[in-house]
Amino acid sequence: MDTTLHDPIVGQLLDGRYRVDARIAVGGMATVYRAVDTRLDRVLALKVMHPALAADVSFVERFIREAKAVARLSHPNIVAVFDQGAEGAYVYLAMEYVAGCTLRDVLRERGALQPRAALDILEPVLAALGAAHRAGFVHRDMKPENVLIGDDGRVKVADFGLVRGVGDVTDTTGAVLGTVSYLAPEQIEHGTSDRRVDVYACGVVLHEMLTGAKPHGGDTPAQVLYRHLNEDVPAPSQAVPGLAPELDALVAAATAREPEVRPEDAVALLALTREARSGLTDAQLDAVPPQARPEAGAGAESRTTVIPRVLPAEAGEAPNRTSRLETAPPGRTPPARSRGRIAAPRQGVVVAILAALLALSLGAGVWYINSGQFTRVPSVLGRSEQEARKRLTDEGLDVKVAEGFSDAYGRGTVMGTDPEPRSRVRGGGPVTIVVSRGPASVRVPDLRGRTLAEARSALKKDGLAAGVVSEEFDDTVARGSVIRTTPAAGTDIRPDAGVELVVSKGAAIDVPDVTGRSADAATAELEGAGLTVRISATRVNSTVAEGSVVRQSAPEGARLARGDTVTLTLSKGPRMVSVPEVTGQKADDARKTLEAAGFTVTVERGFPYLGDTVGKQSVAGGDKAPEGSTITLTTKGL
């Protein structure tokens, strides 16, 4: 059944530019369509947010963040974003389009992969994530659905829908984002996400490629989350006996439950992966796995929502060896391709067009050759990209855009065209404008003393990006202002690179001990030290006088920043406890009985002080006294 027939956006011209041809994928947040950019006449993937979510500001911000984040990442194994915009209820991204399949498709068709094939997929994935990590970004949603394998064997990381700068948001107070089977323990327990959550997810994906199944299963998402928190990822060789120990060690390193034990980022994990591969023999790399199949429910994972085109390999990039995937192990069938993503052959259309052109040329060829055939390329050097586009399109020329580095032309201005200015081009071109990215290296500005917002703005202006943001106490730099950067000010780095910022928390305040003091006195002392005080609505029984402080959220000696909050819990007085009857008992036995009931005991000896039997107690047995109060016992004389 053609489900696109009932999709209202199919057939529309979105934003006056993108003709939507067909729906090719549906996800929880957006739908992906095959579309044509009518200005540049190229096929692309159009990712359109569900209209119901477009009214939610947080969803829209996350959607736009994807475009901005991925646009900064230039790597042959990362899907590129061309454009972002909105029309009415539709918020969209224009992205690369490629024919191929996802790693989920491969695992669903084949189950476990040979180690060589698994490593051939993992290495370019880690190369892509490494570029993102070193630029200051975290993917946060790595899974087989987001690993695309092109028809030519290229591997690309897709769907940076959850990407964030490492320092933009280090903690989430809402729902945990990501797919449960690939979430790191710290994402589940604390909502924190740094580079090592991607490392953990890649370790889970490697386990799944080697065994054909996820390491932690369960009937409900809660069960899966519990196992990620409380159980180590099992060695792949437990499911597939005979796998090399180096592969077990690689999975164990990537999926350590304590983030500080894992490799610090994808670059470090890539180094470990290559080291592990170098220690394997051909027989170990080409070991044929058993007929393992993915566990039930594997298809329930969220579907891939970005369909990229394949880029040519760049010099110096990690080699892609996924051509081995084209030949299935004995007894297997090759994976079914996602033909919904592949453009239909156009040979018939081409033949028809050529025939029509031939017919026209017989009657009008002389006119075409002698008039209107060529257009001169106007000079747009030094103009902004927008100005250059308008100037060329006004001349009837199609425009393509490339980028380059230049010391002579400012960032964002045109540094050259192909063909060159004053050249003659046939018909509408196309003409490629080369837009300057500024110098080939950018000097990190001195940001000390600037607010975080000012620092980010300055970095963006200079063609750099704010990366990890951390905080330290500093009594010389105002709270919220930058102490230092990594790389340091004055360092020359590549454009668009991430710069880590260390921001001041202000001077440290040593928290005083205010337990036992009245609420007013404790509040005055803490506020006098520069702290904010909150009184808990819940009071507890205590031997401390009613209304006095029983405990404080930050203990004595803890270091806080000015304005940080200390919560105080007050006493509602002691519990009233029934006093045991102990007259007639030996003094030691009576003491033990009363102390077990929660009282303090003193013993007074009756003259002539030789008796040891309790003759009297200060509170009669059966009466009630405050817990912790003192009961006096008097012994009988002889």
Token couple for 96: 């690369």
Q: Binning pLDDT at 50, 70 and 90, where does residue 310 land?
A: very low
Residues pairing with 559 in the sheet: 510
The position carrying tokens 């597939």 is 240
| Strand ranges for 549-609 from DSSP E | 549-552, 559-561, 565-570, 576-578, 600-604
CA atoms within 13 A on the CB side of 126: 29
CA distances 287 to 106, 110, 123, Å, are 18, 15, 19
Q: Binning pLDDT at 50, 70 and 90, where does residue 444 land?
A: very high
Query: Who contacts 52 (Cβ-Cβ below 8 Å, separation ≥6)?
Result: none
Active site residues: 141
What pLDDT was estimated at residue 58? 67
Angle (nearest 5°) at CA 564 between 561 and 566: 125
Express as a percent the part of the chain with pLDDT over 70: 80
What pLDDT was estimated at residue 49? 85
Express as a percent the part of the chain with pLDDT over 90: 47
pLDDT, the chain, mean: 80
Q: Which of residues 31 and 374 earns the better pLDDT score?
A: 31
Per-residue pLDDT tens over the stretch 182-225: 999 998 888 778 899 999 999 999 999 999 999 998 888 888 88
Q: Long-range contacts: 232-239, Cβ < 8 Å, 24+?
A: 232/256, 232/257, 233/203, 233/204, 233/207, 234/207, 236/206, 236/207, 236/210, 236/211, 239/211, 239/212, 239/213, 239/292
The position carrying tokens 């509170």 is 619
Per-residue pLDDT tens over the stretch 152-161: 788 999 877 5
CB 251 within 8 A of CB 203: yes
Q: What is the DSSP letter of 451?
A: B
Domains, the chain, ordered by start? 3-97 (3.30.200.20), 100-339 (1.10.510.10), 347-436 (3.30.10.20), 442-504 (3.30.10.20), 508-570 (3.30.10.20), 576-635 (3.30.10.20)
The pLDDT of residue 318 is above 60: no
Single-letter code of the amino acid located at 71: A
Q: Binning pLDDT at 50, 70 and 90, where does residue 327 land?
A: very low
Single-letter code of the amino acid located at 470: S
Nearest to 264 by CA among 337, 166, 124: 166
Angle (nearest 5°) at CA 183 between 182 and 188: 155
What pLDDT was estimated at residue 97? 84
Query: Who contacts 394 (Cβ-Cβ below 8 Å, separation ≥6)?
Result: none
Q: What is the DSSP letter of 619?
A: S
- Look at the pTM and tell me if it is higher than 0.85: no
What pLDDT was estimated at residue 90? 84
Single-letter code of the amino acid located at 6: H
Phi, psi at residue 17, to the nearest 5°?
-140, -45
Q: How far apart are CA 176 and CA 563, in angstroms?
A: 28
Q: Average pLDDT for residues 241-262, to the nearest whole number?
A: 95
The pLDDT of residue 492 is above 90: no
The pLDDT of residue 89 is above 80: no
Question: Could you write out the three-class secondary structure of 385-412?
Answer: HHHHHHHHHHCCCCEEEEEECCCCCCCC
